[in-house]
Structure 1
Amino acid sequence: MARKYSKHGPREDLYRDDEEEQAAPKPDCWLCGRPCGEEVVWHHPVPKSRGGRDTVPMHPICQQTIIAHFTNSQLERFGMDASGLLADPAIEKFVAWVAKKDPDFYAPIPKKRK
């Protein structure tokens, strides 16, 4: 069995500096544009089932709202363009509401409409 670490070299990845991770700026949410909080969800704007590979940072509440309001076919049509999603009245209303909340704010989102 191969060694996980070299016998003759420093184990640099074991001694990461936590200060560097904390100093890195938080990415902005793809949907609402606010800085992300502690938890960042990497969302596929084009669903993986539809061939999407790119990911974007989002708040968990923003991702759940998108999933609850759109089908995979609709998300595939919008692609990487968030402005198409923001044109929907329900999403526009949600973004206006969540803009006043803390980046780590979370609330349950109603289940997907059928």
Structure 2
Amino acid sequence: MARKYTKHGSRADAWDEAEDPVEAPPPRDCWLCERPCGETVIWHHPIPKSRGGRDTVPMHPICQSMLITTFTNSELQRNGLDAGLLRIDPRVEKFIAWVSGKEPDFNAPLGKKKQR
């Protein structure tokens, strides 16, 4: 039968002797708007998984919603991992200009995806 405690004291003592506390990594930048991400980070597939995408990139939830409501899976597949091509779209330029003044954890409903 296993012991509940070590021979030299309780488990709590072992945790108290921890070395330096681990520092949190610096916030990542959003793939689309290039602002630092806040507490909530979405790992988004720039090329949709249904189209063979495997890579993920960090994004704000609002930026991911903007991509999903603006572009089709075919358009995202064509643009691939190049966020610069997405940023030159007038709809995305307008969105980035609007969201640039907001705090990192800002989120708002963007509407529904338009049927084509």
Regarding TM over 0.5, the answer is yes
- Write out aligned runs for 1:11-30 (5 A): 20=22, 23-30=24-31
Q: Larger helix proportion, structure 1 or 2?
A: 1
Give, as a single letter, the amino acid of the residue that structure 2 aligns with 1:23.
A
Displaced runs of 4 or more, over 3 A: none
1:109, CA displacement in angstroms? 1.0
1:23, CA displacement in angstroms? 2.3
What residue number does 2:10 align with?
A: none
Give, as a single letter, the amino acid of the residue that structure 1 aligns with 2:98.
W
What residue number does 2:68 align with?
A: 67
1:112, CA displacement in angstroms? 0.4
Percentage of identical aligned residues: 62
- Write out aligned runs for 1:1-114 (5 A): 20=22, 23-114=24-115
> For residues 84 and 41 of structure 2, what CA distance do their matches in structure 1 show?
21
> For residues 113 and 82 of structure 1, what CA distance do their matches in structure 2 show?
22
Aligned CA-pair RMSD: 1.7
> For residues 51 and 100 of structure 2, what CA distance do their matches in structure 1 show?
30
> For residues 24 and 86 of structure 1, what CA distance do their matches in structure 2 show?
27
TM-score scaled to structure 2, two decimals? 0.80
TM-score scaled to structure 1, two decimals? 0.81
Could you report, residue by residue, the CA deviation over 1:24-76 in whole angstroms, capped at 9, with x for unpaired residues? 11110000000000000000000000000000000000000000000000000
> For residues 111 and 39 of structure 1, what CA distance do their matches in structure 2 show?
22
Give, as a single letter, the amino acid of the residue that structure 2 aligns with 1:95.
I
Give, as a single letter, the amino acid of the residue that structure 1 aligns with 2:25.
A
| Structure 2: runs of 5+ lacking an equivalent | 1-14
Tell me how many residue pairs correspond in the alignment.
Answer: 98
